[in-house]
């Protein structure tokens, strides 16, 4: 995608643009008539002392002004509306595209950067598309019109102006390089500020707990100073440009006045014509300012175009293949066939093969960092496999439409995110049309009913940003309720019970085993009592070896496995 492809956002509203340009074209000659009327007054009405002519010209001038104002009002309104629509279209396209990008993309970027792009870069691009480009369309006819009128008033002066005016266009070329450097700096620094703001306020709890408020104030102050310095550089450059621009404008106007004065003195031009030419010339020089702004806008917006294009050019890596289909998981059996995967060059899982029977209740164990979460992420296709295949009930998951796959797997993670919404709405997030009975049942499985009933507004209690008004354990129970409400054929709990006391964890595991007799349950837990409740333990020993058996069998034959639970085995004996 390049800058031109953003043109489609303009093209979508071509009818509005056609009306706006037509109105501008009507308004153009009207706006240029008044100086000519002034010339008539100076050259005809005043010398002849013709009051009638004077009044007629004044009424014509006033009528033209009124008509032009009405046209301008309507075209400005239409322009604003179209601009809002283009802004809306671009923002939603970028947001939609970002939503569909693979997780890997987000692992290498910070959230503040995306927010900055959606807000600030989209604004810059919309400004260029909807303000700069249409105005450029009008500059050429306007300049041609003005030159024709000047030509009509005095051809020599018009030729002189045509020769000298291009001087005004040299200046933007000279500043382009500096402008690009300074704008890039401003964007970098402002983005850094947004990233800092986002990270600070989303981790305010941690900052307070560690007493790092002063350190954060200092860091923010440093970023703010750097942004201020960059903005000042930008403003300094802008002032130099304005100064040099007005100097060039004065030189051009001065030269034309001198030459025009010479023509008047020599009797080759009337005073009225010179007055009119001067007004037209001011307008012509004003156009050179617009052209300067156009070049500036090209330079400034090209940086934002590039930043948005980076997003739009990143392909949604995991997309549905053309023969992908909606699929109802019949039994929930999972098979890994020679699966290899790594985030970078190093494989986390390598040539790994194993089977989980339909409806099996299994514990997935292994030391932290061995790849358990990665393995589970692959089942829901958060990442693409490098080699091998994963099948559910004999069908490669690549053949299943992504949405359909994810709808049928219930998943709860250790660090669950809950929305700043009510308890009930958070549970309904995975099944919006669930009945209250279903919600109550899910809550009972998650052993969350007691604590929800004790909340001030029960299910309607707002839990705050990042669920700050409830405890970690309560958060995890809501996340379990949210995962089980779908009553999926495959249920995955990745250390999702880690903040709970062992009695509650035991109860939830029992509830899951009894309430989901036919579903496949994969539980990642470091708690021995939960692991023991599972039919089979899958022990991820190395990137390519997964050992299976009951806890007893694995403990007897595998030293490393025994060490994993050593302290808990001793406690159990006590």
Ligand X SMILES: Nc1ncnc2c1ncn2[C@@H]1O[C@H](COP(=O)(O)OP(=O)(O)O)[C@@H](O)[C@H]1O
Chain residues binding ligand X by CB under 6 A are: 107, 343, 348, 366, 368-374
Instruction: Decide which of ligand X, Mg ion, none touches 267; Cβ closer than 5 to 8 Å per partner kind.
Output: none
* Residue located via tokens 């089977």: 355
Nearer to ligand X, 108 or 266 (CB): 108
3-state SS of 478-530 is HHHHHHHCCCCCEEEEECCCCCCCHHHHHHHHHHHHHHCCCCEEEEECCCHHH
466: left (phi over 0), alpha (psi -120 to 50) or beta: left
435 binds, among ligand X, Mg ion, none (CB under 5 to 8 A by kind): none
CB of 367 or CB of 464, closer to Mg ion: 367
Residue 191 engages Mg ion in binding (rule: CB under 5 A): no
Q: Applying CB under 5 A, which part among 202-210, 288-296, 365-373, 509-517 lies near Mg ion? A: 365-373
- The alpha carbon of residue 543 and the mean position of all alpha carbons in its chain are separated, in whole angstroms, by 36
Question: Choosing among ligand X, Mg ion, none, which partner's interface includes residue 369 (Cβ < 5 to 8 Å by kind)?
Answer: ligand X
Non-local (6+) Cβ contacts of 190 within 8 A are 116, 120, 227, 230
Taking CB under 5 A as the criterion, the residue among 373, 474, 476, 530 binding Mg ion is: 373
- When the beta carbons of 187 and 349 are compared against ligand X, the nearer one is 349
Q: Among residues 131, 82, 153, which one has the least CA distance to residue 297?
A: 131
The residue (of 372 and 398) whose beta carbon lies closer to ligand X is 372
**In the complex, least distance from residue 346 CB atom to ligand X, rounded to whole angstroms:** 8
The partner in contact with residue 299, picked from ligand X, Mg ion, none with C-beta cut-offs of 5 to 8 angstroms by kind, is none
- From first CA to last CA, the distance across the chain in angstroms is 66
- For Mg ion, which residue has the nearest CB? 373
Closer to ligand X by Cβ: residue 323 or 368: 368
Minimum separation from the CB atom of position 480 to Mg ion (A): 16
Closest approach, Cβ 349 to ligand X, in A, equals 9
Residue 284 structure tokens: 């012509």
Closer to ligand X at the Cβ: 23 or 564?
Answer: 564
Give helix then strand counts, H and E, for the chain: 24, 10
Strands 536-542 and 387-392: unpaired
Residue 517 binding partner per list Mg ion, ligand X, none, with a CB distance cut-off of 5 to 8 Å that depends on partner kind: none
| Shortest spacing between CB 411 and ligand X, in angstroms | 14
CB of 72 to ligand X, least distance (A): 55
Minimum distance of ligand X from residue 114's CB (angstroms): 17
Distance CA 163, CA 160 (A): 5
Beta-strand relationship, 349-356 and 334-341:
antiparallel
Nearer to ligand X, 498 or 513 (CB): 498
Alpha-carbon distance 256 to 168, whole Å? 14
Binding mask 195-234 for Mg ion (x = CB under 5 A): ----------------------------------------
Q: How far is the CB of 94 from Mg ion (least distance, A)?
A: 31
**Least distance (Å) from Mg ion to the CB of residue 180?**
45
Nearer to Mg ion, 339 or 365 (CB): 365
The one of Mg ion, ligand X, none whose footprint includes residue 348, by CB under 5 to 8 A per kind, is: ligand X
Matching residue, tokens 């036919």: 518
Report the nearest approach of Mg ion to the CB of residue 500 (Å): 17
- Interface of this chain with Mg ion, residues 416 to 435, rule: CB under 5 A: none
Measured in whole angstroms, the distance separating CA 397 from the mean position of its chain's CA atoms is: 29
547 bridge partner residues: 539
Smaller CB separation from ligand X, 213 or 415: 415
Closest to ligand X by CB, 128 vs 538, is 538
Q: How far is the CB of 383 from ligand X (least distance, A)?
A: 8
- Compute the distance between CA of residue 148 and CA of residue 142 in angstroms, rounded to an integer: 10
The set of residues, in sequence order, having a beta carbon less than 8 Å from that of 325 and lying 6+ positions away, is 399, 400, 401, 404
Rounded CA separation 407/384 (Å): 18
296 vs 374, beta carbon nearer ligand X: 374
| C-beta of residue 150 within 8 angstroms of C-beta of residue 275 | no
Answer with the entry of Mg ion, ligand X, none that 174 interacts with (C-beta below 5 to 8 A by kind): none
172 close to 296: Cβ distance less than 8 angstroms: yes
Burial 34-53 (b: 16+ CB within 10 A, else e): bbbbbbbbbbebeeeeeeee
Helix axis angle, 271-313 to 51-99, nearest 10°: 10
- Whichever of 424 and 527 has its CB closer to ligand X, that residue is 527
Task: Supply the minimum distance, in Å, between the C-beta of residue 420 and ligand X.
Answer: 25
H or E segment at 558? none
Residue 374 binding partner per list ligand X, Mg ion, none, with a CB distance cut-off of 5 to 8 Å that depends on partner kind: ligand X
Of 373 and 476, CB closest to Mg ion: 373
By CB under 5 A, which span of 108-116, 214-222, 367-375, 501-509 interacts with Mg ion? 367-375
Minimum separation from the CB atom of position 356 to Mg ion (A): 18
Asked if residue 189 lies in contact with residue 230, where contact means CB atoms within 8 angstroms, the answer is yes
- The answer to whether the CB of 337 falls within 8 A of the CB of 392 is no
Q: How many positions of this chain bind Mg ion (CB under 5 A)?
A: 1
Distances (CA, A) of 418 to 67, 415, 448: 57, 10, 15
Buried b (16+ CB within 10 A) or exposed e, 84-114: ebbbebbeebbeebbeebbeebeeeebebbb
**Distance in Å, CB of 342 to ligand X, minimum:** 8
Q: Which residues bind Mg ion (CB under 5 A)?
A: 373
């Amino acid at each position: 995608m390049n800058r031109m492809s953003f043109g489609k956002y303009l093209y979508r509203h071509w009818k509005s643009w056609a009306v706006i340009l037509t109105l501008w074209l009507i308004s153009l000659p009207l706006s240029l008539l008044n100086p000519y009327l002034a010339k008539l007054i100076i050259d005809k009405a005043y010398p002849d002392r013709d009051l009638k002519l004077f009044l007629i010209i004044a009424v014509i001038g006033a009528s033209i002004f009124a008509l032009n104002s009405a046209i301008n009002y309507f075209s400005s309104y239409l322009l604003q509306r179209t601009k809002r629509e283009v802004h809306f279209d671009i923002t939603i396209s970028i947001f939609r595209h970002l939503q569909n990008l693979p997780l890997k993309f987000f692992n290498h970027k910070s959230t503040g950067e995306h927010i900055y792009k959606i807000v600030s870069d989209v604004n810059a691009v919309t400004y260029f598309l909807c303000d700069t480009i249409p105005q450029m369309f009008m500059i050429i006819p306007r300049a041609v019109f003005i030159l024709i009128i000047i030509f009509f008033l005095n051809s020599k002066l018009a030729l002189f102006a045509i020769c000298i005016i291009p001087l005004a266009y040299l200046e933007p070329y000279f500043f382009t390089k500096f402008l690009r450097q300074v704008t890039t700096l401003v964007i970098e620094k402002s983005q850094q500020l947004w990233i800092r703001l986002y990270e600070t306020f989303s981790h305010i709890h941690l900052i307070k707990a560690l007493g790092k408020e002063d350190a954060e104030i200092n860091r923010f102050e440093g970023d703010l100073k750097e942004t201020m310095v960059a903005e000042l550089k930008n403003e300094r450059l802008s002032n130099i440009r304005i100064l040099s621009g007005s100097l060039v404008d004065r030189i051009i106007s001065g030269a034309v006045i001198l030459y025009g004065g010479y023509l008047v003195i020599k009797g080759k031009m009337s005073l009225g014509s010179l007055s009119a030419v001067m007004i037209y010339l001011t307008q012509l020089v004003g156009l050179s300012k617009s052209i300067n702004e156009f070049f500036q806008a090209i330079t400034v917006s090209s940086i934002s175009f590039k930043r948005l294009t980076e997003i739009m050019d990143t392909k949604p890596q995991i997309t549905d293949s053309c023969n992908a289909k909606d699929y109802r998981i019949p039994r929930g059996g999972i098979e890994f066939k020679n699966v290899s995967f790594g985030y970078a060059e190093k494989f986390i899982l390598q040539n790994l093969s194993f089977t989980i029977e339909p409806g099996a209740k299994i514990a997935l164990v292994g030391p932290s960092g061995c790849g358990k979460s990665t393995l589970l992420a692959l089942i829901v296709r958060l990442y693409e496999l490098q080699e091998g295949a994963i099948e559910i009930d004999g069908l490669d998951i690549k053949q299943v439409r992504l949405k359909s796959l994810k709808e049928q797997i219930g998943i709860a993670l250790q660090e669950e995110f809950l929305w700043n919404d009510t308890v009930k709405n958070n549970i309904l997030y995975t099944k919006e049309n669930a009945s209250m009975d279903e919600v109550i049942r899910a809550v009972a499985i998650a052993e969350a009913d007691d604590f929800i009933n004790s909340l001030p507004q029960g299910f309607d209690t707002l839990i705050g940003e990042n669920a700050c008004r409830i405890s970690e354990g309560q958060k995890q129970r809501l996340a379990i309720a949210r995962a089980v409400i779908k009553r999926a054929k495959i249920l995955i709990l990745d250390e999702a019970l880690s903040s709970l006391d062992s009695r509650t964890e035991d109860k939830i595991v029992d509830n899951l085993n009894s309430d989901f007799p036919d579903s496949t349950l994969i539980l990642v837990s470091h708690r021995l009592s939960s692991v023991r409740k599972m039919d089979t333990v899958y022990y991820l020993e190395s990137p390519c070896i997964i050992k299976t058996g009951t806890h007893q069998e694995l403990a007897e034959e595998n030293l490393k496995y025994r060490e994993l639970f050593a302290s808990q085995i001793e406690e159990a004996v006590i």
